[in-house]
Amino acid sequence: MSVTTLTPTHPDELNELFGQTGFIRFEEGPGGLPVACLKNGHAETMVSIYGGHVLSYLPDGEEPVLWVSEKAQYETGKAIRGGIPIIWPWFGASKRYPKNPSHGFARKLTWDVHSARLIDNTVPQLHLDLQDNDITHSLWPHSFRLELVITLSDKLDIELRAINLCKNPFDYTAALHSYFNVSDIKHVSVLGLERRSYLDQLDNMERKIQEGPITFTSETDNIFYDTRDTCRLIDTGFGREIVIEKHGSTSTVVWNPWIDKSKRMSDFGDEEYHNMVCIETANAGPDVITLNPGGHYELCTSISTKPL
Ligand code: BG6
């Protein structure tokens, strides 16, 4: 089954249609996949049109904010390990369609470029769309449009809007599955989830309470629920904090695969777990979104950094 996109995917054609000199250009990225490069006076970000996937966020003079595996595979049909995969319309295993691949299909399809523009002459903004098609219908029987808007100001803002184009309501779960680059997992802590409840995915979804700041000493895979709070990833090795604000989300997933799981993943280096942690702005676990016909819902995150 193949799907053609509504807009071109060749960088030259995309530059002709949407390029904004100095601020937004399209290029051939890793694996030959087309990418959009957004740049302003503060930072650069690279977005793969395949997957609607943010691959990098580089504030000037800083270590990369996002982590991507050296073993990441840049091939259509495969998920890219790192950056910010778009998880939609199910987080983890699909409850209704258990044979479907985990984390939905949005990260494994090529999106359409809807627009690329400048706001206030300095803030580049990229808007991608994904519409239901033969592949999505073979996995999930609903009509929808996803709109992904990525804005680079002194922060990186990502908004994922889901629109129900069916005659019936549908349910979905989702995540902006952000992989952050850290100096060493042993030198980081996560603030913002103290005294919050979570489902421990490594302990049969047992409900537990996070007492203090999160630190990492073993595999961690927790879905925090009933939380709208900003998370702060404190990295004493890099001397910075990454601030992860969110809207439209009452769940946050915190994941590090540690040693054994890293070894089991073919697109993840055995030792790479030292330098990453996922803090995912999500609609996951009990945070299921029901969209009525014609309805829409936005899941948003703003990522910024501060020196410690
Ligand atoms: C996290 C899940 O969001 O994603 C983990 O909580 C999962 O359970 C991880 O292992 C990676 O998933 P995938 O499908 O990209 O290998």
CA of 74 to the centre of ligand 1 (A): 18
Atom of ligand 1 nearest to the CA of 223: 6
Q: Of all protein residues, whose CA lies closest to atom 14 belonging to ligand 1?
A: 102
Residue 3 confidence class, pLDDT cut points 50, 70, 90:
low
Answer whether residue 42 shows pLDDT above 80.
yes
- In angstroms and rounded to an integer, the radius of gyration of the C-alpha atoms of the chain is 19
Give per-residue pLDDT as tens, 47-75: 999 999 999 999 999 999 999 999 999 99
DSSP line for the chain: -----SS--SHHHHHHHH-BTTTEEEEE-GGG-EEEEEE-SSEEEEEETBTTEEEEEEETTS--SB-B-TT----TTS--SBSB-EEBS-SSS-SS-TTSPTTBSGGGSBPEEEEEEEETTTEEEEEEEEE--HHHHHH----EEEEEEEEESSSEEEEEEEEE-SSS-EEE-EEE--EEE-S-GGGEEEES-TT-EEEETTTTTEEEE--SSB--SS-EEEEEES----EEEEETTTTEEEEEEEES-SEEEEEE-HHHHHHH-TTS-TTGGGGEEEEEEEE-TT--EEE-TT-EEEEEEEEEEEE-
292 lines ligand 1 (CB under 6 A): no
Look at residue 20 in the predicted model and tell me its pLDDT: 80
Answer whether residue 4 shows pLDDT above 80.
no
Check residue 81 and give left, alpha or beta (phi > 0: left; psi -120 to 50: alpha): beta
Look at residue 1 in the predicted model and tell me its pLDDT: 54
Answer whether residue 139 shows pLDDT above 70.
yes
Look at residue 170 in the predicted model and tell me its pLDDT: 98
Average pLDDT over residues 110-138: 96
Average pLDDT over residues 117-129: 95
103 lines ligand 1 (CB under 6 A): yes
Answer whether residue 5 shows pLDDT above 80.
no
Answer whether residue 2 shows pLDDT above 60.
no
CA of 282 to the centre of ligand 1 (A): 13
Answer whether residue 129 shows pLDDT above 80.
yes
Residue 256, Cβ density class (10 Å: 0-12 exposed, 13-18 middle, ≥19 buried): buried
Structural contact between residues 181 and 66, judged by C-beta atoms closer than 8 angstroms: yes
Look at residue 9 in the predicted model and tell me its pLDDT: 80
Structural contact between residues 293 and 167, judged by C-beta atoms closer than 8 angstroms: yes
What is the C-alpha separation between 76 and 86, in angstroms, rounded?
Answer: 15
Answer whether residue 21 shows pLDDT above 90.
no
CA of 42 to the centre of ligand 1 (A): 31
Look at residue 33 in the predicted model and tell me its pLDDT: 96
107 lines ligand 1 (CB under 6 A): no
Average pLDDT over residues 287-308: 98
168 lines ligand 1 (CB under 6 A): no
Look at residue 7 in the predicted model and tell me its pLDDT: 74
Average pLDDT over residues 158-169: 98
What is the C-alpha separation between 130 and 140, in angstroms, rounded?
Answer: 14
What is the C-alpha separation between 34 and 37, in angstroms, rounded?
Answer: 10
